[in-house]
Structure formats: structure tokens, C-alpha cells
Amino acid sequence: LLSPWLGNRTDVPAALFMTGYTGNLLAVKLAANAGVTLSWGSWFIAALLPCLVSFLIVPLLVYWLTRPEIKHTPDAPDLARKELAQMGSMARGEWLMLATVGVLLVLGLFGGSLGVDATTASFVGLSILLLSGVLTWEDVKSEKGAWDTLIWFAALLMMANQLKKLGFTSWFGNLIGDSIGSTMHGTSWIIILLLLNAAYFYTHYFFASGNAQIAALYAVFLGVGLHLNIPAAPMALMLAFTSSLYCSLTQYTHARGPILFGAGYVPTGVWWRTGFIISLFNQAVFLTVGLAWWKVLGLY
């Protein structure tokens, strides 16, 4: 139970926060290239209600689909209390870290009105932690994963910008849009959004990286949707959230998948079946609760 639960439930908070997954930042950049601006706060508010529904129900679905052998762990609360007692009270550094997170949340939500963008907010947080001694420069240098992400993420952004500049994204999007438009003339944009999102979602079976699919297809599918007169905000948001939600389709569609699957507790068939059913549920939630919520927010 724990492996597919961790996989599928982790996708939801990744979709909730713009900074919850590196691919989200790439999607934001590509959406901006198409004229759709997404701030940290607007992303969070748009994702809040549908993500809350998924966050509450997905664990129950995974439980029902996987039927764990051990269903009761009466000793777990006592073990947790003992471990907390051994850890003791929060240290100075932990309080400073908590306060810094609070500052970053405020800047993320209200930074736009304060003239502070996401990059500046990130450097503010890092500066606080360095000046207070919570982190040292050696800690910063040792974060190999962060430096690695910085390098390849920049390369992906440059490639995406060049594809747009050369006209490939618009050309390919218009080509697909014309093909769909000729066969679905007069169809509601919500139905077209559903079909485009499903196509984008299940194309992920052919990708072993969420970021790779975003770089290759996000702008294309967004362009198709805009070409077919789907409102810009719902189209951009739906594809962006899907870019997090598709990560647990299989054991290979996200970097964490092989780690969880490698423990050997979940058969391949169970993982694929669970991932597919959860994918249907998440799409249903975002296409119903999500669209209704975005209408209330005045996004279209």
C-alpha cells in the first residue's frame, strides 16, 4: 500500500505549489511565452480546491485498490511519541527555518503586489538562512541535485524558447488544431479540453521524465487549445497540473518511481492499474471541481 500511496499522493502537493516540482516552473515559463501569466499565488489559489479533494480521496482509492495485508498498527502512536521525545524540543535553527518558510510563503502569495518576483524571494530565503547560520556555504555547494537541476533546467528553457522563436511550436500547434477543429466543429470547448488533456496525460506512457514531456509537448498542446478557442487560463492550468499528476502512471514515469517500485512490494500490474484509475479520478476532479472553482475565481 505505502509505495503506490506515496507515489500517487505526492503528485497532488506537487501540483498544489508552483515550487512543488521543477517541471511546474518550466510550465509557467512556457505559459508566459503564450501570454498566460501565472504567479505563485495565483497558481496556489487555482490549485487549492481540486487538490484538496484529490488529497483527501486518493488515499482511500489506493487503499481500496491495493487491499493492504496489514490494516491495523496500534503500536504506531506510541512509537511516534517515543521518537518525538528523543528528538526533544525544536532547536534555534529549526525555528529560524520555520520562520523563513513563513516569509517565503508571504512573498509567494503577495510578492507580485510588493514587486518581489519568485527568484528574488528565493534569494531572500537563502540569504536569511546563510546569515543566521542555519546553512553554511559548504551546505550550498554540497547540494549537487540543485546545481544539476539549475544546469539542465536552463538548457530546457533555452530550447523551448528557440522552438517558439523559430515558429515550430505555433506551426505544430496550428497543424494539430486544424485537424481537430475540422472534425469537432461546433463541439463545446470543455469537451475539447477534456480530449486534449487526456491525450497529453496518457502520452506520458512514452516518457520516463515529466520535465522532458513538458519541454516537448506543453507549449504544443497549449497552442492547440488556444487555436481552438479554449480560454487561456483553464487550458494553461489544466496542462500544468496534469504535468504533476501524470507522474505516477507507471513505475518509470518519474524519478521516484523506480525507487519505490524497487522495494519489490508492488507487482507491475497493480502499479499500472492503480496509476490508471487514479489518473481517471484526478482528471475528473480537475475538469469538474477545478473548472467550477476557476469560474468562481473569474479566470474565464
- Written as one letter, the residue type at 248 is S
pLDDT range class, residue 1, cuts 50, 70, 90: very low
More confident: 199 or 171:
199
152-169 core/surface letters (b: 16 or more CB in 10 A; e: else):
ebeebbeebeebbeeeeb
- DSSP secondary-structure letter at 271? H
Contact 19, 40 (CB under 8 A): yes
Q: How far is C-alpha 194 from the geometric centre of its chain's CA atoms? A: 18
How many other CB atoms sit within 10 Å of the CB of residue 188? 9
Nearest Cα residue to 241 out of 210, 272, 216 = 210
- The C-alpha cell that represents 297 in the structure block: 475565481
Residue 112: count other Cβ atoms within 10 Å of its Cβ. 16
| Domain ranges, ordered by start, for the chain | 2-73+144-296
Model confidence over 177-230: pLDDT tens digits?
677 767 776 788 999 999 899 988 888 887 767 777 888 788 888 988 888 889
The owner of cell 487526456 is 198
Decide: pTM greater than 0.95: no
The C-alpha atoms of residue 118 and residue 237 are separated, in whole angstroms, by: 18
